[in-house]
Structure 1
Amino acid sequence: MVTIIVATDFSDVAENAVEYAAAAAKHGNARLVLFNSYVLPIHAANTILPASSIQKLMDENENRLQERALFLSTTYGIKVGFEARFSFVEDELTDLIDRHKAELLVLGMKARTLEQDLMGNTTTAAIKKLKFPVLAVPIGAKFGEIKKILFACDVLRGVPKKILSRIKELATSLNAEVEVFHVNDAIEELKADHPALSSKDGIGSGLSGVSYYYKNVKSNQVIKEIEKEIKEFKADLLIMIPNKYGFWASLVHRSKTRVMASGLDIPLFSIPI
């Protein structure tokens, strides 16, 4: 059985991601694991507390997580496990993923702020550091509303068959249509110099059986064009393949990667190669 891990700190953004992940688990007949990385409240951390008091705080947190898991299991009819650890969430995710042999990590996507652009957050850090599929879910997003998927990719370097297969499986299960979207600042020259640009045919064969479209845009503002296309296509989900070459060179810079993983109105599914 496929396992999905979703992290929560019980905030509104995180709890919306939990509901999203639970609905996705039900749809895919998957098991869900709730994860909470417990950090002492500031007032407690700044106070000398006996070990028994700290243990009580941790027990209360774990009981809350257990109650949430039971509620989700009953509401969605799925298997739900839970884990709480006394550490920072980034430090535990890799071990958690390996132990549960998970196939997807779901995290809440916070609204864009100056602080987020400068400092990032747990979600953007996970997308950058983990070589693992991460689904970032903004508050208000609902799983059942995915009918249009925007796949922003580098057609010049090609797309691995495994990733196309995953997108095809997702689109088929949701009965969704896909738009393959490419941005380049010299698309006309590339067409002349790279007949392999018709490698979009390779994408087509990889997405055979799925209703899909192909669109390229000439621009040197990758982020802005993707955000614009999300609105024009009325996409419900954005899929990206982060790497450090070619088309994605502009996304290597930390602040730009953070921009894509905070402030969107739709979920961002990051699938690393």
Structure 2
Amino acid sequence: MKTILVPTDFSVNAYKALQYAVEISKRNQATIVLMHACQLLESPFVDRQALRAAYNRNLVEEIAGELKVWKSKVTEKAKGVKILTRIYKGSVQKSILQCAIEHVADLVIMGTQGASGLKEVVIGSTTASLISKSTIPVLAIPITYQWKTPANILFCTKGFETGAGPDAPLADIAALFSAQLHVAVFNEVDKVEIHEYLEHDTALTDYRKSFRKKYKLPVASAIQLEGDDFETTLQEYVSRLDIDMLAMVPHRHGFMDRLLHRSRTRQMAYHTKIPLLAIPG
């Protein structure tokens, strides 16, 4: 993990994301790219071009000043942490994806405000939206979260993926913080057949063996969770095990499926109280 991208809108939760990136960088000397996306003023009227240019110039200068202040805050407390600042012009999501490509980012860390009900459906969240489109892992930091060194990481999955995609970021984070990794699969009550339970048991056992062999890291526990509601069941298990980070693989859905059954990973990005690591499958 050499480069961490931290988009900022200069909010409190964005600063928490930057603090988390700093904690990682202090341990592995990763470069942090602190970026902000802005929409410049456009006008088709020739007589307003000078006014528009002055406004845009002042806006960019103001943003550059804010980025400099944030960088100074961090580097004063964390000597040796390397931070680059970048300004992109355009939509937030496209700018983040473009910045990630240009700087070959290994991880995006963003703050998430959280939402519920109609607000979640209509307004949404930049972080939750990015999770469904990013080709690199996205770590969402809730606004209520207070930093602590992750000791327990829970990977909740339904596919037991063993390819380089999901496994590698999990191993990197677990090794970086010397954290214990736990794996769980969710079964909805009365909707899983006996043979599926047995298949999950076999898959969990195989996953633990494969992960240890590949990364020389143990999987502390592997369990099947059962409940009526995915989010409630998972949150209860997270509290019981004192989990510090939740990892999931977002699955891409078709348009109708997105309307009827939203991605569980995206759903958790709105409601989780601990950092959520979304790993592309």
TM-score (norm 2): 0.82
Is 1:189 matched up with 2:194? yes
Structure 1 unpaired stretches of 5+:
42-47
Greater Cα offset, 82-91 or 95-104: 82-91
Structure 2 Cα separation of the partners of residues 215 and 250 of structure 1:
28
Contact 1:117/1:255 (<8 A) preserved? no
Aligned pairs (5 A) from 1:122-137: 122-137=126-141
Give the CA RMSD over aligned residues: 2.7
Structure 2 Cα separation of the partners of residues 226 and 12 of structure 1:
27
Report how far residue 195 of structure 1 moved.
4.2
Structure 2 Cα separation of the partners of residues 244 and 53 of structure 1:
40
Structure 2 unpaired stretches of 5+:
42-47
Helix, strand or coil at the partner of 1:171:
helix
Distance change in 2, residues 1:212/1:165 (3 Å): farther
Helix, strand or coil at the partner of 2:274:
coil
Identity %: 25
Contact 1:147/1:174 (<8 A) preserved? yes
Structure 2 equivalent of residue 175 of structure 1: 178
Determine which of 235, 239, 247 is the counterpart of 1:227.
235
Structure 2 Cα separation of the partners of residues 195 and 38 of structure 1:
49
Structure 1 Cα separation of the partners of residues 9 and 177 of structure 2:
29
TM-score (norm 1): 0.85
Distance change in 2, residues 1:50/1:167 (3 Å): closer
Structure 1 equivalent of residue 45 of structure 2: none
| Number of equivalenced pairs | 261
Report how far residue 187 of structure 1 moved.
4.3
Give the partner amino acid of 1:53.
Y
Structure 2 Cα separation of the partners of residues 92 and 72 of structure 1:
23
Determine which of 119, 123, 126 is the counterpart of 1:119.
123
Distance change in 2, residues 1:153/1:102 (3 Å): same
Structure 1 Cα separation of the partners of residues 247 and 265 of structure 2:
13
Is 1:270 matched up with 2:278? yes
Structure 1 equivalent of residue 223 of structure 2: 215
Structure 2 Cα separation of the partners of residues 153 and 7 of structure 1:
27
Report how far residue 128 of structure 1 moved.
1.2
Determine which of 245, 249, 264 is the counterpart of 1:241.
249
Structure 2 Cα separation of the partners of residues 164 and 152 of structure 1:
12
Contact 1:150/1:179 (<8 A) preserved? yes
Aligned pairs (5 A) from 1:1-273: 2-39=2-39, 49-76=51-78, 77-114=80-117, 115-154=119-158, 157-162=159-164, 163-185=166-188, 186-187=191-192, 189-191=194-196, 195=199, 197-208=201-212, 209-244=217-252, 253-254=261-262, 257-273=265-281
Deviations 1:7-38 (A, max 9, x none): 11111111111111122122221000001112
Report how far residue 257 of structure 1 moved.
4.8
Greater Cα offset, 200-209 or 173-182: 200-209
Report how far residue 160 of structure 1 moved.
2.1
Structure 1 equivalent of residue 44 of structure 2: none
Distance change in 2, residues 1:196/1:235 (3 Å): closer
Structure 1 Cα separation of the partners of residues 16 and 210 of structure 2:
32
Give the partner amino acid of 1:272.
P
Deviations 1:37-58 (A, max 9, x none): 12469xxxxxx74421331122
